[in-house]
Amino acid sequence: MNQFLPNTFEFGDAAGLGAWLVGHYRQHLAYNVFIAANTNPPTELPEFNILTVEGARLGAQTWLNDHESWHELVRPFANVTGVDLSAVDMNKPEDFYEWIDLHNQEHAAIDQAFGLA
């Protein structure tokens, strides 16, 4: 089941960011569970620290790097490709919304591939 609501916040919305982070993290955990259950021997991917963001800023580079690392590990199992989700300036609204759209598209493709949509 998809627990991730991709469009629950807008640029600068700290409360919405908190809700988004929880659902997003849980969806990544669901990817790990799916991959482990559907590979033989079970492939256990690491968990990355994407539940919290340093200074409550989504654009914190550590968060972006960890998040990209997790996507890089998941993509081959879903047979999807994506852009480098760590290469963005989240302080610019136009970059933020472009990233959100690309990120949402990738999650939708992974969810579809894993039957989690």
- The residues spanned by each domain of the chain are 14-114
Q: What is the mean pLDDT of each successive set of 10 residues along the chain, which is 117 residues long? A: 62 84 92 97 96 68 93 98 93 92 94 93
Strand, helix or coil at 18?
Answer: helix
Q: How far is the C-alpha of 26 from the C-alpha of 51, rounded, in Å?
A: 9
Check residue 16 and give its pLDDT: 83
Dihedral angle computed from the Cα positions of residues 55, 61, 64 and 69, in that order, rounded to the nearest 10 degrees: -130
Peptide bond into 41 cis (omega under 30): yes
pTM of the full structure: 0.89
